[in-house]
Structure 1
């Protein structure tokens, strides 16, 4: 009988480990991300002029200052390794040509409702620098944006005031995200899609290089982080992150390869976090807070 109990114990433990590992496995690229990746990323001499195009220095914003900020949970070495782990296809490549054609097709099919939604998503963004100045006119809106994914899925009561431990965790990963985003962007200086394709009519223009997508980076890192806090809602968080990354293509401001690279980097960041004592401690407190406090707001 004792052996049977032990067997059930180890089977249960094995199931738990498998479940945990399954929850943390990055799904392979699918849909147009998968098909586009199969196309040659090498330079095509027939479009050699495209390889002379870089993000215009005249359009740089002030975001490059995040390259001077210290990461929160990541180390400097991890930031460097992650920034060197991805690259974009050559501007003249067949892959980029197909990406641009795909975006032109999206542009031709944009509806008023779709435009309203993607522009709304485009306005979401948390900036660590604003969080340092409580008197800043955008301070409250900035904290509201920090909780966008939780609030979008579970209501207005999911906010920094009600969940300070989760707020601390999200603030930490968002500091890493901004550093990671602009370290990659200002290493590679990829031109935006509308710099290569004059027929593209973006819904806005961005004053930083294209690769990799910052919106997609924060969308997935937050989705992965929220999934550690509330694992039963993982699919919902991932679905929202997917909507956010695709919105950047509909807007005409990011190539699909920008977005897929950001998804890959996001998952790699999670792997570092899971081995980081400070992250694990903050995560433990965030999970405990959620289990205790959420019952007041989630019915």
Structure 2
């Protein structure tokens, strides 16, 4: 039901920018140039990247695996705990639509970088890696979940400024959980988090997105409370 609702909001939300265009400025080379390449194979940085994945694999707990599994399809519901006890995502349809809109804007940015660098997933590159989440066929760099986690957290922080730190921590955790699950390297996550922050800046400077944000704030969020209680 949650996935169906999010897909519906994604389809109905008005476009902030063209669906096939990354909102980041292209004058400096676009998102691939912004992030630069991942650590090259055989480098100490690449070895450290893999070492962290294998260490997380040895030490991850059932609770961490379950949390990572619950984050496969990100939505407002994944940030409920950071928005205060008792927060109900279903009472914030405009906010859900705003996040769906942000996810749609981020998709071409993420895809551009993945295709530019074509990094293999940890479990493809090394047989020792046993992922605890779905094996995806897309490239590894950058992490799309880390990108959306950082992006969603930044947008929600504009609506609930009193919960900013908790939201940013939650957004970062979503990316880190991808390493715990063995489906991304730490450098994938770091790149995704940077990309998400840059996309958030671009969207928050877009007039149409600003108007949708203001509407969601006025209709669904209590001024100054930051707890996200619906009016």
Deviation at 1:223, TM superposition (A): 0.1
Give me the whole-angstrom Cα distance separating, in 2, the residues matched to 1:291 and 1:69.
Answer: 28
Q: Which runs of structure 2 are paired with 1:71-220 in the superposition (5 Å)? A: 71=21, 74=23, 77=26, 81-86=30-35, 87-121=37-71, 123-125=72-74, 146-154=75-83, 155=86, 157-159=88-90, 162-204=91-133, 205-220=135-150
Give me the whole-angstrom Cα distance separating, in 2, the residues matched to 1:206 and 1:167.
Answer: 25
Contact 1:165 1:286 in 2 (8 A): yes
The CA deviation string for residues 37-79 of structure 1, in whole angstroms up to 9 with x for no partner, is: xxxxxxxxxxxxxxxxxxxxxxxxxxxxxxx94348x268489
Give me the whole-angstrom Cα distance separating, in 1, the residues matched to 2:93 and 2:66.
Answer: 31
Give me the whole-angstrom Cα distance separating, in 1, the residues matched to 2:228 and 2:53.
Answer: 44
| TM-score in terms of structure 1 length | 0.62
Give the root-mean-square deviation of aligned CA atoms. 2.8
The SS at the match of 1:84 is helix
The residue that corresponds to 1:38 in the other structure is: none
The residue that corresponds to 1:235 in the other structure is: 165
Deviation at 1:198, TM superposition (A): 2.1
Contact 2:24 2:30 in 1 (8 A): no
Larger radius of gyration: 1
Structure 1 unaligned blocks of 5 or more: 1-67, 126-145
Q: Which runs of structure 2 are paired with 1:6-85 in the superposition (5 Å)? A: 69-71=19-21, 74=23, 77=26, 81-85=30-34
| TM-score in terms of structure 2 length | 0.79
Give me the whole-angstrom Cα distance separating, in 2, the residues matched to 1:296 and 1:181.
Answer: 29
Give me the whole-angstrom Cα distance separating, in 2, the residues matched to 1:238 and 1:203.
Answer: 24
The CA deviation string for residues 223-249 of structure 1, in whole angstroms up to 9 with x for no partner, is: 000001111111111111122111111
Asked whether 1:280 is paired with 2:210, we answer yes
The residue that corresponds to 1:41 in the other structure is: none
Identify if the C-alpha distance between structure 1 residues 214 and 120 changes in structure 2 by more than 3 Å, giving closer, same or farther: same
Deviation at 1:170, TM superposition (A): 1.5
Structure 2 unaligned blocks of 5 or more: 1-17
The CA deviation string for residues 58-113 of structure 1, in whole angstroms up to 9 with x for no partner, is: xxxxxxxxxx94348x2684896123211211122110101111211111112222
Contact 2:221 2:229 in 1 (8 A): no
Asked whether 1:258 is paired with 2:179, we answer no
Give me the whole-angstrom Cα distance separating, in 2, the residues matched to 1:234 and 1:217.
Answer: 17
Give me the whole-angstrom Cα distance separating, in 1, the residues matched to 2:78 and 2:171.
Answer: 8
Contact 1:149 1:222 in 2 (8 A): no
The SS at the match of 1:88 is coil
